[in-house]
C-alpha cells in the first residue's frame, strides 16, 4: 500500500476545512427554515442553484465581477422566495407536516424546469478571475476563493445568529417556532415572520450558490447534490442550529478532502453520503441538537 505523505494530509485538511465553509454557507438557510418554520425544504437545492444562475445573469448583463454580484443575487433569490412561503407553503401548512413537504418537492421540480427553460441545461461557470489564485500559509497553500468563502460563511453565520438572538425579529421568530398559536395571541404576525424567515433562508442559500459557482461548474441538476450536501451538514451539526451548520460544514469538507486523499476525488460524493449515514446512526440529533 502506498505511503500517504503527511504534508499532503495536512494540505488536504486545510483545503477541506476551507471548502467546508462554503458547504456551511449553502446549508445555513436550510437549517434556519427547519429551525423556525419546521419545514423540510426540498426546494433548497434549487434555491442554491438559482443564486448561481442569477449571479451568472447579472455578470453577463453588467460585466462586473461575480464577487460583487453575489450579494445582489442573494437579495434577488430572497425576494423571489418570499411569496413562495407566503402564498404556496403557508396555506397548506394547516393540513399537517406532509403537505408542506410535498409542496416543496413540487416547487423544486418547477424551479428546476424553469431554470432549464430560462438558462438552458448547459454547464456554466462563474469566472471571478481568482480561480487559480492561492494564498501561501507557511509550507502550505489554499485557494483564495476557498478563503473568501470561508470568511463569508463565518460572517453570515454570525450575522444570522445575532439576528435571531438580538433583534425583535429574532424574538418573534423564536416565539413563533416554539408555539405559533401563543405567539399570535401576544401580537406576533406569524405569517409575516415565517415568510420573512423563508426569504432570509433563501437569500443565504442564493449567496452560497453564487460563491460555489465561482469554484464549481453547475447545471440545473446540480440542485440535487446541493440538497444532499445541505442535509448532510444540517444533520451533522444539529437540526435548526446555525452554529451546528457551520461546524457540520467544516466537518463534511474535512471528511471529503481527507477521504479523497485515500480514495480519489471521484469518491467525494460517496464520502459525504457515508458521513451523513454515520451521523444518523451515531448521533441523529447532531452535535448541537435542534436548538439554534
158-175: pLDDT as tens digits: 999 999 999 999 999 999
Please state, in angstroms and as integers, the Cα–Cα distance from residue 289 to each residue in 22, 30, 245, following that order: 22, 15, 11
Asked if 249 and 204 touch (Cβ cutoff 8 Å), the reply is: no
Higher pLDDT, 207 or 97: 207
User: Given this model, what pLDDT does residue 48 score?
Assistant: 97
In a domain, residue 5? The reply is no
Considering Cα of 166, then 172, then 176, then 181, what sign does the dihedral take? positive
User: Given this model, what pLDDT does residue 290 score?
Assistant: 52
Contacts of 2 (CB under 8 A, 6+ apart): none
pLDDT beyond 70 at 291:
no
pLDDT beyond 90 at 142:
no
Q: Measure the CA–CA gap between 264 and 279, rounded to whole angstroms.
A: 22
User: Given this model, what pLDDT does residue 287 score?
Assistant: 67
What is 118-177 written as a DSSP string?
HH-SS-B----S-TT-EEEETTEEEEHHHHHHHHHHHHHHHHHHHHHHHSHHHHHHHHHH
In a domain, residue 244? The reply is no
- Per DSSP, the three-state class of 199 is helix
In a domain, residue 268? The reply is no
**Residue 198 domain boundaries:** 22-128+139-221
User: Given this model, what pLDDT does residue 134 score?
Assistant: 84
User: Given this model, what pLDDT does residue 267 score?
Assistant: 72
Contacts of 5 (CB under 8 A, 6+ apart): none
In a domain, residue 245? The reply is no
Average pLDDT over every residue of 211-233: 92
C-alpha cell at position 29: 438557510
Contacts of 77 (CB under 8 A, 6+ apart): 47, 50, 51, 54, 202, 203, 205, 206, 209
In a domain, residue 53? The reply is yes
User: Given this model, what pLDDT does residue 130 score?
Assistant: 83
Asked if 197 and 171 touch (Cβ cutoff 8 Å), the reply is: no
Percent of the chain's residues with pLDDT above 90: 54
User: Given this model, what pLDDT does residue 4 score?
Assistant: 65
124-135: pLDDT as tens digits: 999 988 878 888
Q: Which residue has the cell 422566495?
A: 81
Number of H helices, E strands in the chain: 12, 2
Q: Measure the CA–CA gap between 156 and 97, rounded to whole angstroms.
A: 29
In a domain, residue 258? The reply is no
Average pLDDT over every residue of 100-116: 95
pLDDT beyond 50 at 278:
yes
In a domain, residue 44? The reply is yes
Banded pLDDT at 95 (limits 50, 70, 90): confident
Number of structural domains the chain divides into: 1
In a domain, residue 7? The reply is no
Amino acid at each position: 500500500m502506498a505511503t500517504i505523505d503527511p504534508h499532503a494530509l495536512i494540505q488536504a485538511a486545510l483545503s477541506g476545512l476551507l471548502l467546508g465553509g462554503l458547504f456551511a454557507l449553502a446549508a445555513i438557510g436550510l437549517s434556519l427554515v427547519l429551525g423556525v418554520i419546521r419545514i423540510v425544504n426540498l426546494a433548497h437545492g434549487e434555491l442554491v442553484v438559482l443564486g448561481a444562475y442569477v449571479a451568472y445573469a447579472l455578470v453577463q448583463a453588467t460585466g462586473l465581477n461575480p464577487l460583487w454580484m453575489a450579494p445582489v443575487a442573494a437579495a434577488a433569490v430572497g425576494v423571489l422566495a418570499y411569496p413562495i412561503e407566503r402564498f404556496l407553503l403557508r396555506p397548506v401548512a394547516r393540513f399537517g407536516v406532509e403537505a408542506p413537504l410535498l409542496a416543496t418537492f413540487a416547487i423544486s421540480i418547477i424551479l428546476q424546469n424553469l431554470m432549464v427553460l430560462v438558462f438552458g441545461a448547459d454547464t456554466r461557470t462563474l469566472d471571478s478571475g481568482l480561480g487559480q489564485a492561492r494564498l501561501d500559509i507557511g509550507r502550505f497553500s489554499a485557494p483564495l476563493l476557498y478563503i473568501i468563502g470561508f470568511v463569508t460563511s463565518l460572517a453570515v453565520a454570525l450575522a444570522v445568529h445575532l439576528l435571531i438572538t438580538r433583534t425583535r425579529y429574532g424574538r418573534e421568530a423564536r416565539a413563533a417556532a416554539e408555539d405559533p398559536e401563543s405567539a399570535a395571541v401576544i401580537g406576533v404576525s406569524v405569517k409575516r415572520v415565517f415568510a420573512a424567515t423563508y426569504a432570509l433562508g433563501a437569500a443565504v442559500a442564493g449567496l452560497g450558490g453564487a460563491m460555489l459557482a465561482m469554484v464549481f461548474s453547475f447545471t440545473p441538476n446540480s440542485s440535487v447534490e446541493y440538497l444532499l450536501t445541505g442535509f448532510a451538514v444540517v444533520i451533522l451539526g444539529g437540526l435548526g442550529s446555525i452554529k451546528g451548520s457551520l461546524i457540520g460544514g467544516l466537518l463534511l469538507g474535512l471528511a471529503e478532502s481527507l477521504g479523497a486523499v485515500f480514495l480519489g476525488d471521484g469518491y467525494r460524493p460517496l464520502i459525504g453520503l457515508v458521513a451523513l449515514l454515520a451521523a444518523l446512526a451515531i448521533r441523529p440529533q447532531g452535535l448541537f441538537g435542534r436548538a439554534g
